[in-house]
Amino acid sequence: MDYRFNSEVEIPLRSITLTGDLVVPLKAKAIIVFAHGSGSSRMSPRNQMVAKLLHQRQYGTLLLDLLSEKEDQQYSNRFDISLLTKRLIGATHWLEEQKACKNCSLAYFGASTGAAAALKAAAFLPQIESVISRGGRPDLAIESLSNVEAPTLLIVGSLDYDVLEKNKEAYTLLHCEKKLEIIEGATHLFEEHGMMKKVADVAVQWYQHTLHPILA
């Protein structure tokens, strides 16, 4: 596959420099920013699997760590949704300035607490065209849900009982185009055989439905 850009990047923000992996296929018309959840990172094999499938469909991806290694060691930071949201917004603004991303629409893919940050950021940034929450905690962004205008897909495992209930409650507060996709037989991390492939397929279908190329 030919790429417009495929490299590790450093994203300078006011108080920190974030590290990420930016991959933009040659024909990409949209880029999905991955916001990882508590205790995870851009090296997560689950999100990397989704990203690779998106690349095959000519979508770009930015996988980044919203916390430094030192910050991640402090457990409370993983649930500091305001901090994670600010970092995600800053990274999105940086992405918009990159030459390789010109004329690309933008979307989010959030997991666990990263999904809450993605939803809060999407409520603040009208340029975000689509959001996916995978095993997410949208309840941690409950005050922002009614302001989200981007089409939103909530993906939850049927055996992830507590998180499923929280997603059902959050779903009722979303006023945008929305869908709750329950993956039968899956637990919180979708570690069961074939479950992450189902997540990836559903994600691709959602982005194909909701993302539209920006006309140059």
Residue 73 CA to residue 79 CA, distance in Å, equals 12
What does the pLDDT look like over 195-213, one tens digit per residue?
A: 999 999 999 999 999 998 6
144-156 tens-digit pLDDT:
999 999 999 999 9
The architecture CATH gives domain 3-210: 3-Layer(aba) Sandwich (3.40)
pLDDT at 195: 95
Number of C-beta neighbours around residue 193 at 10 A = 7
Confidence class for position 15, pLDDT limits 50, 70, 90: confident
Tell me what pLDDT residue 40 has.
61
Residue 194 pLDDT exceeds 60: yes
- State mean pLDDT over 43-51: 85
Domains of the chain, residue spans: 3-210
Question: For residues 169 and 124, what is the distance between their CA atoms, to the nearest angstrom?
Answer: 21
CA 118 to chain centre: 6
Neighbours of 169 (CB within 10 A): 13
Write down the pLDDT at residue 142: 97
pLDDT at 216 over 60: no
Q: What is the mean pLDDT of residues 68-83?
A: 85
Q: Percent helix, strand and coil across the chain, each rounded to 5?
A: 40, 25, 35
Nearest to 49 by CA among 189, 203, 197: 197
